[in-house]
Amino acid sequence: MVAIFRAVLFGMVASFSALVSADNCKPRLFYCGTTLLRKGNYYDQIEGALKASGQSTNDAHIHNGLFYCTGGPNGEITFQAFCVNHLVLVIAPQPRKTSGAMDWFDSSVEKM
C-alpha cells in the first residue's frame, strides 16, 4: 500500500515538473514558430496569433511564422511576418535609424 502511494506521488511530482519546465518567450524578442514550438507548448498560441492576423494556420505558417513576444504570464505572442531560414531576430524595440537594424530586419524577413 505504501509502495503504491509513493508511486502515485512520484508520478504526480514528475507530471508537475514537466509542466513547469515549459519555457516562455522573452518579452520584446522575435521568434520563429519552430523555435516557439521547441521552447514550450506554443501550438495553440501560434494558431491563435495567426487567426487574429487573418493568416492561414497551415504547417508552413505555424512553423515559419515570425512572432513577437509581448510577454505576460503565458508568454503571449503576436504574428509579424514570415521567417526565412528559421532566423530568430533580436531587434531593439526602437532601433536608431543609423543603426541599420531595420535594414537587416527588412532584408531577412519576407512579408506575407
| pLDDT tens per residue across span 25-69 | 999 999 999 999 999 999 999 999 999 999 999 999 999 999 999
Segments in the chain forming alpha helices (H): 2-20, 33-39, 43-52, 59-64, 101-108
Order of strands, sheet of 30-32, starting from the edge strand that comes earlier in the sequence: 30-32, 65-71, 76-82
pLDDT (mean) for 59-86? 91
- By C-alpha distance, which of 39, 97, 95, 99 is closest to 69? 39
Q: Please give the pLDDT value at position 77.
A: 97
